[in-house]
Amino acid sequence: MLPSLNGLRAFDAAARHLSFTRAAAELNVTQTAISHQIRRLEAQLGVRLFVRRNRALLLTREAQGYLPAVRTAFEDLRRATVRLQRPDRDELLTVSTTASLAAKWLVTRVATFQDAHPTIEVRITTSTHLVDFQREEVDMAVRYGRGHWPGLRAQWLMAEDIFPVCSPSLLKDARPLRRPEDLAHHTLLHASVSREDWRLWLTAAGLPVSLALRRGLNFDQSFMALQAAMEGLGVALGRTRLVERDIAAGRLIVPFDVVLPSDAGFYIVAPEETADAPKIRLFRDWLARSVVRDSGASPSGIAVLADPEMPGSGSTTRSE
């Protein structure tokens, strides 16, 4: 049997204030009522929750272990009530993704969804952790991985290849970037969300992974490393969807034809119980169609700039 809700509220307030008097003031009841509710809760649980020492109120060891779960339960109730009472809950769609995917891919396309569905307001939030749909006010997410998240429905969205990108100015540098071996003379730009990518790519290119351990520039997010690459500060690793527009505009180039295929990809995820909600289904289907349209509009992949001074050199392409 669950304990008294009033008793749990009294316990939570008294534990926060370590005072029955202040807990009573917060809950607008008498101190006697708080004491009575705490004694009744202790009787129901069969454990003592508070001890008095030198006019101080202390939590017992059992209460210290119990309190986090009680506070989490009240917070979950609060969030659920806010969602229930929010008048525009059917019109607001909150989508979580990484900052890099949002900045470099999603925000440039979402206006077309808004035009097609003006009654749905899309709110994009960014984070690097996997969304806790029970505690966060998020309807769906676009996440990178292998598609196995318990309790969530995951729909494949798109794959990504990984390859170095840099500013065209590095081809004219005093130590031009023409072959993978030339990376030894250039700064590598790292993103903390994908620290291992450089080591994997260097291994695929037959280069020592020690190059990735040299002093370089480090950034919290991939899009920051890509911006630094556009500024000519070094060489970053790009993912297809994050760099295709900058490559097409000439802000970035692909100096080598060594591509590291990713064994994971981007998925659209939502809780099983809400995955078929109309607003989620509309946005999910629109995202999938957007990727298909992008693939159809891309001529033949990402162009790789070859060294014009090398015999037999010519432009090659990498298909996605």
Do residues 307 and 235 share a domain? yes
Pair 216, 228: CB distance under 8 Å: no
> What are 43-54's pLDDT values in tens digits?
999 999 999 887
Confirm if 32 and 73 have CB atoms less than 8 A apart. no
Instruction: Read off the pLDDT band of 296 (50, 70, 90).
Output: low
Confidence of residue 41 (pLDDT cuts 50, 70, 90): very high
Is residue 270 situated within a structural domain? no
What's the pTM? 0.54
Which range has the worst mean pLDDT, 178-182, 282-286, 293-297?
293-297
- Does residue 272 form part of some domain? no
142 and 287 belong to one structural domain: yes
Residues 263 and 190: their CA atoms lie apart, in Å, by: 20
> How many whole angstroms separate alpha carbon 82 and alpha carbon 134?
13
- Buried/exposed code over 11-36 (b: 16+ C-beta within 10 A; e: otherwise): bbbbbeeebbebbbebbebeeebbbe
Q: What is the pLDDT of residues 149-203, one digit of tens each?
A: 888 999 998 877 889 999 999 888 778 888 899 999 899 998 876 667 888 788 8
The whole-number pLDDT of residue 305 equals: 44
**Which of 34, 58, 85 is at the close of a domain?**
85
Supply the DSSP string of 120-133, one letter for each residue.
Answer: SEEEEEE-SSPP-T
CATH number of the domain at 129, please.
Answer: 3.40.190.10
Tell me, what's the pLDDT at 295? 63
Residue 242 has pLDDT above 70, yes or no: yes
Using CA atoms, how far apart are residues 177 and 168, in angstroms rounded to an integer? Answer: 10
Give me the mean pLDDT over the 263-279 stretch: 88
* 208 and 233 belong to one structural domain: yes
Q: Could you tell me if 179 and 307 lie in one domain?
A: yes
Q: Same domain, yes or no, for 165 and 135?
A: no
Q: What is the pLDDT of residue 90?
A: 62
* Residue positions counted in the chain: 320
* Total domains present in the chain: 3
**Statement to judge: residues 167 and 127 lie in one domain:** no
Assess whether 236 and 311 both reside in one domain: yes
143 shares its domain with 207: no
- Residues 65, 171 share a domain: no
More confident call, 100 vs 57: 57
